[in-house]
Amino acid sequence: MSVPEPINPPPRLLMGPGPITADPRVLRAMAAPLVGQFDPAMTHAMSETMALYRAVFYTSNEQTFLVDGTSRAGIEASLVSLIEPGDRVLVPVFGRFGHLLVEIAKRCAAEVHTIEVPWGEVFEPELIEAAVARVRPKVLAVVHGDTATTMRQPMSDLGEICRRYDALLYCDATATLGGNSFRTDAWGVDVVTAGLQKCLGGPSGSAPITISPRAVAVIDARKHIEEGIRDADDVERGTPIASNYLDLAQIMDYWGPRRLNHHTEATSMLYAARECARLLVEEGIEHAVARHELHGRAMLAGVTGLGLDVFGDVEHKMNNVVAVRIPDGVPDDKARAAMLADFGIEIGTSFGPLAGRVWRIGTMGYNARTDAVLVTLAALEQVLRGFGVSVTAGGGVAAAKDVYADA
């Protein structure tokens, strides 16, 4: 074969709904030398990572660690480890990622119940409570921020509702963690998972997770340790978890004091996840949330200043992404291609009913920055102009600058 050139990607500003441009400090951390799986330096870095993510998740859960794989690995590990065949699961669906929870829970052979609101809206807690009372699920599985619609579901009442009806609460916080307030313990969320490629400012490939003691008890009641590493006094209990790789009972023993061998921890991704959390804690999590709020507000003002219409209930929008309606007559794919070719900027469309109808523009992680916002708005103006849209000259940048001037 002819050997390809070394990898040399073009410079890009990733302003879509994720993945976003990784913080260069995270990329540098990934280039650190490898150490062995049980080297004290490695286990020390693992313990530090657990402590850092306890701060990020606002939790005192001992079981706070990483699942290797993208965010979906964390989601799937949570559901497959909690759900036994026939268990009832309730999913409030308000976008694509709610459908993903349904799909995964079904593959776990759960009896899945859903409630839905139209895309662009969120649920009143009373609506969720009524469904919990009716279905009496073992697990209520909720997405915090659904990037498909940009909506952020209010979570603070759900833990208390779940406790009253003896349900476990699972939350996919991939899109929101680090850029929107999230309080695992105060909100009573039993299992939370995330990914690095949104507000945490890293590459995809690691899924931080935290698990409450009562969820740990449910998972541990199904512990089956593999033949070959099992001790004589390791009893097999409950229905085995239907995945080996995503078996949280075994993964907890790998991260815990027993250091029982499971997979080989993805060392470079551990470095990345550790650095993402370290940077966040160093900045101050509330400061990072406020930064996402500010730059999200500037982007919202900017697209409005260009004369574009925003999709969905803006009151419930995540800080870090906005969906704008694509103006009539503008070809979605050609316009995004022009953003990429002429300006090196990536923005995204959405899925399903919103595919080709909205653009999603993110201001998250490393890209929740003034220059990234202003440059994107300036480029978007020129691209829209190129497709014959009569946008206010300089209207986007000016409106965003007004927001910054008042901040």
Total of chain residues touching ligand PLP, rule CB under 6 A: 14
H or E segment to which residue 300 belongs: helix 285-305
Alpha-carbon radius of gyration of the chain:
22
Verify binding: residue 204, ligand PLP, rule CB under 6 A: yes
Distance (Å, whole) CA 203 – CA 186: 29
CB of 173 to ligand PLP, least distance (A): 8
2-38: burial string, b at 16+ Cβ within 10 Å, e else = eeeeeeeeeeebbbbbbbbbbbeebeebbeeeeeeee
Nearest to ligand PLP of 70, 367 (CB atom): 70
Using CB under 6 A, pick the residue from 68, 172, 253, 346 that binds ligand PLP: 172
CB of 73 to ligand PLP, least distance (A): 7
Distance (Å, whole) CA 37 – CA 338: 46
Per-residue interface string for the shown chain with ligand PLP, residues 10-49, x marking contact by CB under 6 A: --------x-------------------------------
CB of 70 to ligand PLP, least distance (A): 3
Nearest to ligand PLP of 63, 149 (CB atom): 149
CB of 205 to ligand PLP, least distance (A): 8
Q: Collapsing DSSP states into helix, strand and coil, what is residue 387? A: coil
Q: Collapsing DSSP states into helix, strand and coil, what is residue 379? A: helix
Q: Write the CB contacts of 1 (distance below 8 Å, at least 6 apart in sequence).
A: none
Distance (Å, whole) CA 162 – CA 118: 24
Cβ(405)–Cβ(399) under 8 Å?
no
Nearest to ligand PLP of 78, 204 (CB atom): 204
222 annotated among ligand-binding-site residues: no
Using CB under 6 A, pick the residue from 147, 150, 180, 184 that binds ligand PLP: 147
Nearest to ligand PLP of 188, 208 (CB atom): 208
Helices (H) and strands (E) in the chain, counts: 13, 13
Q: Which stretch binds ligand PLP (CB under 6 A): 22-30, 47-55, 68-76, 349-357?
A: 68-76
Verify binding: residue 72, ligand PLP, rule CB under 6 A: yes
Look up residue 263 and give its DSSP letter: S
Q: Which stretch binds ligand PLP (CB under 6 A): 116-124, 169-177, 295-303, 347-355?
A: 169-177
Using CB under 6 A, pick the residue from 175, 200, 358, 399 that binds ligand PLP: 175
H or E segment to which residue 363 belongs: none
Cβ(351)–Cβ(273) under 8 Å?
no
Using CB under 6 A, pick the residue from 70, 149, 319, 349 that binds ligand PLP: 70
| Cβ atoms within 10 Å, residue 301 | 22
Feature table: binding site: 360
Feature table: binding site for substrate: 360
Which residues would be at the binding site for ligand PLP (CB under 6 A)?
18, 70-72, 97, 143, 146-147, 172, 174-175, 195, 198, 204
